[in-house]
Chains A and B, each alone.
Chain A
Amino acid sequence: MLAELGHFSLVLALLMAILLAIYPLWGAQRGSATLMATARPLAIGVFLFTAFAYFCLSWAFFENDFTVAYVAHNSNTLLPWYYRLTAVWGGHEGSFLLWVLIFSVWTVAVAVFSSSIPREFLARVLGILGLVGVGFYLYMLLASNPFERLLPFFPVDGRDLNPLLQDFGMIIHPPLLYMGYVGFSVVFAFAIAALIAGRLDSTWARWSRPWTLAAWIFLTLGIALGSWWAYKELGWGGWWFWDPVENASFMPWLVGTALLHSLAVTEKRKVFKSWTVLLAISAFCLSLLGTFLVRSGILVSVHSFASDPTRGLFILALLMLVIGGSLLLYALRAPQLRSIGRYQLVSREMMLIGNNILLSAATLVVLLGTLLPLVHKELGLGSISVGAPFFDQMFVYLTVPFVFLLAMGPLSRWKQQSTSALGRHLLMAFGISVSAALLIGLGSDSFSYMATLGLVLSIWILVATVQEVRQRIAGSGEMFAGIKQLTPSHWGMVLGHLGFAVMIIGIAMVTSYSQERDVRMAPGDSIELAGYTFQLQGVEPLRGPNYTGHVAIMDIYANGKKLNHLEAEKRFYTVQRSVMTEAAIDVGLTRDLYVALGEQLNNGAWALRVYVKPFIRWIWAGALLMAIGGCLSLSDKRYRMAKLAHKASTSEKPQMGKASAMGEIKRADV
């Protein structure tokens, strides 16, 4: 019964979305206040009905209602209750319901937090969101209904959740990632609404910035969590695989990062307007493309959902409408945009252009690498695969100039920067970073060019960031007073850049200095790796709620002292008949010790894999720092909507507008 109610609730949500797509847009065109006023209640309605449908599906999982086909395919009575609740997004249909739920949350958030944005503009934004929503809801109801029943013959027990997904990381990874993906739909709606209205000014950029930031924060965390989960769960110590689906989440992130910077320029300096709009549209389009790639089964990936061509066709049609339509609108409207600001060759604008070019190039590299195998095959040239070496190499080439500009951008002024002052700073940063990296590199046991390059790059960022903060507070005389004066959004930028530096250290060290051994060990045996002694105490049988298996008990010694006691598991999930490794990891700031249990050999011996991964935590710590930086920026008073409304209304008077723009140039924070 509840499943039918859930289904019906989804239909109602679709109807609401259809109304949301019609009334407010029409009202905005006709200038009818009554029609525009429907936008908010309709958005809330869409959310409430979707939330109820989501609740119904969760309940079916909780109660083990195997008459619902989706539940029967993705759950089992032996599954612990918390995994039963997260199993809701363990398969295609349910994860799309989560996607739609999150979409409706964003829509409501726009409706609630944007009360001060002009009525007409808000109505258009919500209308566009409704329009996109119609596509999502239709797709779900027609091609992937999670409430389908298996009546009259239903199984006594379910087929269990994919064991890969029975992990804490997996509980929060998809929701965060979807928050990021779908969050870009808001930015997209703002861009389209502005294009329709023909009013792409700096207020548009200012309204879009907090939403872009929010989506970007979620996407950053989601991707980092995914990487952490893969490291822990897949059992061979890798943290990024250049898998098509990872790429699909990485592309919106790259474009989102470019958009964050480009929006800043558009807001402050009123330039790059058409470029910024294109980025805002692309971020969401790439999210949609990612969804298509994951859910159509068009590419081979560990993430693929069970696929059938009709679903793929439906999403492709949706893609054509949303992306094709918005790019057409862009092609028609963008030529009318005028950028009025002027700037010199050495200026912050130019640095940010560089940033955008490099990030876009990176996006293109990932896009090409992901789609090339497909294109190659469809052209009849045979199957090829584009592997990690290609991406790794390209990203080294792209990162070096990117980091070079990253240090220069914040140090430069808008409009024009004196070359000699910038040169002095850079010379100093360069000297410090190269000598520090060489000292560290030569001081270590083995010298690696890649690790040294990574160190140079991250110290370069570090020094330049410190210089920038010093330069900024120098004007205010006393140091602490100066530090207090810096805005949260400025600290956000500092943290974001430092996070990137931390991440580069992690990546460079892990790729250069990881050590691993595949060994055969009997209980009592011990091996040495990178100064650590791993001793196998024994392998014992293991019994969990829905799996059996073995656990290897390993003691680790360093310099004769016992360091830790690790238990690496190998689980056999009985219902799905699949084997999973649960690696045991001794976490450390400067290194991880990682043990994975392999196959049983004869005479009680086991195959084991042991890794020492230096600085790997820094990769995720860097991502976390970036996300915290994003949160700091988001907390900046500039984005409080009520204040914005006031400013927006005053800035329409020309002389006031000029004054406030001047004030911002002086503050000059990105």
Chain B
Amino acid sequence: MKKLSLFLLPLLLFLLVSVFLLQGLFSDPTERKSSLLNRGVPDFSLPDVMNDSIVYGPEVFDNQITLLNVWGTWCVTCAYELPFLTQLREQGVRIVGLYYEQDLDPDFGAKSLRQIRLDIDKKLGQLGNPYAFNIFDQQRSLSLDLGVTGAPETFLIGPQGKVLLHHIGDVNERVWQQKFESVYQRLSGQALNQQESVR
């Protein structure tokens, strides 16, 4: 009997591994625990990408549920999610863009601000514009504070300016339904109740 158990060892090891493989199959490999979850958005003061004279701070997230979407025209995957985000906007979701430019375009060197604006206009004109406005993260300072590792990344920010969800990778229909929608509905339900109780 003792001998049999020794020969069973490989099987048991394999079964153990396969439990983890099964679990791993249903979780996103790019998912990471964000250190910012349930904390406030870090302080910032950054201009609008289209208009330097407008400057935004953390108060733009007050009293509203917002999706903060990190993107850039150079980012291929971002282009994929633009149409879906635009759909969300049409359903009434408020989406704010956090735009950042790469230091240097891999092909054509540094871009002028004018060129960046032209590119943004072109891209959003082609694929749909989901954004209420775009914050221009010139030095990537806010991205750094938010723990952004690349683009696209999307944060769900609650009415108190708290980061409730952090998603790495594109937001598509499946991601939205599985990850965002329930939290979003709960929040907007709460917001409605509060409004009614005020009345």
Of the candidates A300, A371, A383, the one whose C-beta lies within 8 Å of that of B17 is A371
- On chain B, the residues within 8 Å of A292 by CB distance are 21
**A331 pairs with B14, CB closer than 8 A:** no
Question: Are the C-beta atoms of B10 and A602 separated by less than 8 Å?
Answer: no
> What CA separation (Å) do A600 and B107 show in the bound complex?
7
Kindly provide the distance from the CB of A234 to the nearest chain B CB, expressed in whole angstroms.
15
Q: Within the assembled complex, what's the spacing in Å between the Cα atoms of A382 and B26? A: 16
Contact with A along B155-199 (1 / 0, CB 8 A): 000000000000000000000000000000000000000000000
In the complex, A423 has a CB within 8 A of chain B: no
In the assembled complex, A285 has its CB within 8 A of some CB on chain B: yes
Q: Would B106 and A599 count as touching, CB distance under 8 A? A: yes
What are the residues of chain B within 8 A of A285 when measuring CB–CB? 14
A609 CA to B197 CA, complexed, in Å: 65
- With beta carbons under 8 angstroms apart, the residue of B7, B18, B20 that contacts A331 is B7
What chain A residues lie within 8 Å of B26 (beta carbons)? Answer: 309
The answer on a CB contact under 8 Å between A599 and B109 is: yes
B54 proximal to A (CB < 8 A):
no
Contact of A327 among B10, B21, B22, B104 (CB under 8 A): B10
| Chain B residues, Cβ within 8 Å of A281 | 10
* Residue B8 CB within 8 A of the other chain: yes
| Residue interface mask A308-321, B partner, CB < 8 A = 1 | 01001100100110
CB-based contact B29/A298 at 8 Å: yes
Bound complex: CA A147 to CA B10 (Å): 38
Expressed in whole angstroms, the minimum distance between the Cβ of B152 and any Cβ of chain A is 16
Which residues on the A side are within 8 Å of B10 (C-beta)?
278, 281-282, 327, 330-331
Question: B3 — which chain A residues lie within 8 A by C-beta?
Answer: 335
Closest to B109 in A: A600
Please name all residues of chain A whose beta carbon is closer than 8 Å to the beta carbon of B21 when the two chains form the complex: 292, 298, 316, 319, 374
The residue in chain A whose Cβ has the minimal distance to the Cβ of B30 is: A300
Which of under 10, 10 to 19, 20 to 34, or 35 or more describes the interface residues of B? Answer: 20 to 34
Are B76 and A577 interface neighbours, CB within 8 A?
yes
Docked-complex contact A324 and B14, CB < 8 angstroms = yes
Which residues of chain A are near B14, meaning CB under 8 Å? 285, 323-324, 327
Residue with the highest number of chain B CB atoms closer than 10 Å, among A312, A316, A328, A374: A374
B residues near A375, Cβ cutoff 8 Å: 20
Closest-CB distance, A623 to chain B (whole angstroms): 29
- Give the residue among B8, B25, B31, B105 with the most A Cβ atoms within 10 A: B25
Whether A299 is near chain B, meaning CB under 8 Å from some CB there, is yes
Contact B33–A601 (Cβ < 8 Å): no
- Please determine whether A309 and B33 come into contact, CB atoms closer than 8 angstroms: no
**A297 surroundings in chain B (CB, below 8 A):** 29
Interface positions, chain A 544-571, Cβ under 8 Å from B, are 570
B4 & A331 in contact (Cβ 8 Å cutoff) = yes
Contact between chains at B107 and A572 (CB < 8 Å): yes
Asked if B24 is at the interface of the complex by the 8 Å CB criterion, the answer is yes
Closest to A375 in B: B20
Residue A579 interfacial (CB < 8 Å): yes
- Collect the chain A residues with CB atoms within 8 Å of residue B32's CB: 382-383
Evaluate contact between B25 and A371: CB separation under 8 angstroms: no
Residues from chain B with a CB closer than 8 A to the CB of A331 are 4, 7-8, 10-11
A577 and B22 CA atoms in complex are apart in Å by 35
Tell me which of A298, A330, A579 contacts B7 (CB under 8 A): A330
| Residues B20 and A599 in contact, CB atoms below 8 Å apart | no
Is B55 in the interface zone, CB < 8 Å from A?
no
Asked if A378 lies at the interface with its beta carbon under 8 angstroms from chain B, I say yes
Since A324-B11, A331-B4, A382-B32 are in contact, a sample of 9 more A-B pairs with Cβ atoms closer than 8 Å, ordered by chain A residue number, is A300-B30, A316-B25, A335-B3, A377-B27, A572-B107, A577-B76, A579-B107, A600-B109, A602-B109
A-B contact pairs, 19 of them (CB 8 A): A282-B10, A285-B14, A298-B29, A300-B30, A313-B25, A316-B21, A316-B22, A331-B7, A331-B8, A335-B7, A374-B20, A374-B24, A375-B20, A378-B23, A382-B33, A570-B107, A579-B107, A599-B106, A600-B109
Residues of A within 8 A of B (CB): 274, 278, 281-282, 285, 292, 296-300, 309, 312-313, 316, 319-320, 323-324, 327-328, 330-331, 334-335, 371, 374-375, 377-378, 382-383, 570, 572, 577-579, 599-602
| Leading 6 A-B pairs by shortest Cβ distance | A327-B11, A331-B8, A334-B7, A312-B25, A378-B23, A331-B7
